[in-house]
Amino acid sequence: MNETLSLMLALVMGGVLGAIFFGGLWWTVRKVVSSKWAALWLPGSMLLRTGIALAGFYFVAGSHWERLLACLVGFVIARLVVMRLTRSAEKPTYMAQEAGHASQPR
């Protein structure tokens, strides 16, 4: 039972790390569009997000490859969730307008 609990905790922590990593990426891309310092935002964000993710994987896994794998699965699940949430939050309106024009006969 103890091993199952530690694997579930590793899965949840992987999800948290993935949400931080991919949520931070989404936030950075939105910030870069309107920033004068885009050349500093991108590598700075990458270093910070990667450092947090690697440190998290290191501490969650310890010396157990099973925990590392569970953490990685949680990380990938978080990627899918963040992609789904951010894609539905920002649907471009110009595509709907273009589709409307395409369906109208001339």
**Do the domain assignments include residue 81?**
yes
Residue 22 in contact with residue 75, Cβ under 8 Å?
A: no
Q: Which domain holds residue 45?
A: 2-87
**Do the domain assignments include residue 93?**
no
Tens digits of residue pLDDT in 51-91: 999 999 999 999 999 999 999 999 999 999 999 988 876 66
Residue 15 in contact with residue 71, Cβ under 8 Å?
A: no
Tens digits of residue pLDDT in 13-43: 999 999 999 999 999 999 999 888 888 999 9
**Do the domain assignments include residue 54?**
yes
CA-CA-CA-CA dihedral for 85, 90, 95, 97, to nearest 10: 120
Q: How many structural domains is the chain composed of?
A: 1
DSSP one-letter code for 1: -
